[in-house]
Structure 1
Amino acid sequence: MENPVIKNLKERRSIYSIGKDVSHSQDELTALIQDAIKYSPSSFNSQSSRALILFGENHHKLWDTVKAELSKIVSAEAMEATTAKIDNCFRSGFGTVLFFEDSDVVTKLEKEFPLYADNFRIWSEQSGGMAQLSVWTALATEKVGATLQHYNPVIDEAVASEWNIPASWILRAQMPFGSIEQEAQEKAFMDDSQRFIVCK
């Protein structure tokens, strides 16, 4: 059975060699990212996912900030390799999406629906994950490569200060994206029998 959703999911890969040679404008990619998040599901239609979309010098500033914050806690020897990775795999791209979850939305739901209060933070993380996958897959279908990175909480305060992020926005992931300069290697999969139980 051919399915366009599965086809698109297969195209979504971690692309570490990215560049700036994309055929889409900043406005086109912004609209794509916004729609991908907007139409992603969330519990109770809470719409708790937030995003900071960076291009140009703001994109560069983010990855320079990551290096600066890491240099405070990483040895000089290790920092050399870290800097090379950041420059060649992330900063080299066309832009970055930073994904957040709004804790004010979660707190409000906990108060409004106390029966489910213990679950709302879990559901918020699930909503965030779906938003991330939606953006990643949407970019992939446009032949734009991306990876998902997690330099939070090391960079949280610096990012919040630099881009005036609301205090309730909790940083969850960073997604640098750009032109695909080198395709991902073939992906290996474990046997289906280890992952799925089917009852007929």
Structure 2
Amino acid sequence: MAATNSSQEPVVRPASRILCLDPYQRLLLLRWRDPVSGVTFWEPPGGGLQPGEDHLAAARRELHDRTGLPPELVTAQSVPVHRDFRWRGRWYAGTEHFFLGRMPAPHEVRPVILTAEEDGALLEGLWLSWDEVLGLPEPTRPPHLADVLTALDPSGPWNPEPPWSNSLNQSSRNDRATAAGRRPDMEP
């Protein structure tokens, strides 16, 4: 339910976003310029729920509308993320649901439907490696994108401690223990 906006009260809008990955672990981000503030930023595709729509249906619709990608790419797994930002002079705060999408092959980004507020504000959509995301000159929204990605897919380069690192660390400890003449399960 959207609240009326004033300088003290944010607009609360249920929304969904999609972290879409291609086979090369590149992330799809959209580059926007706020027409009121002039601020430029990168953000995953997504937007507000329409009446009677659930978060997954909104994620699938938004992916197709904003990028032209097939809606069935969006999986049902989601992570709730608190958002607090300004857009077109309005303050928005609340929880958005982030979903994972997997593109089986690289695909050009071509918006199908943009709202009147979005037309002209969407500058481009790009598939970016994690190193490219880290090197963007403008901010990403949300700023803790790596944490959200890790919650949905811990195997990617955005995770500073991928799940397989624990088994490698254990294996390395076992090798050192064996070399020192101890059983691997014994403390040094």
Shorter chain as denominator, the TM-score bin is under 0.3
Q: Name the one with the larger strand percent.
A: 2
When the two structures are superposed, what TM-score results if normalisation uses the length of structure 1? 0.26
Q: Name the one with the larger helix percent.
A: 1
When the two structures are superposed, what TM-score results if normalisation uses the length of structure 2? 0.27
Q: Which fold has the larger relative contact order, with Cα–Cα distance below 8 Å and residues 6 or more apart in sequence?
A: 1
- Larger radius of gyration between Structure 1 and Structure 2: 2
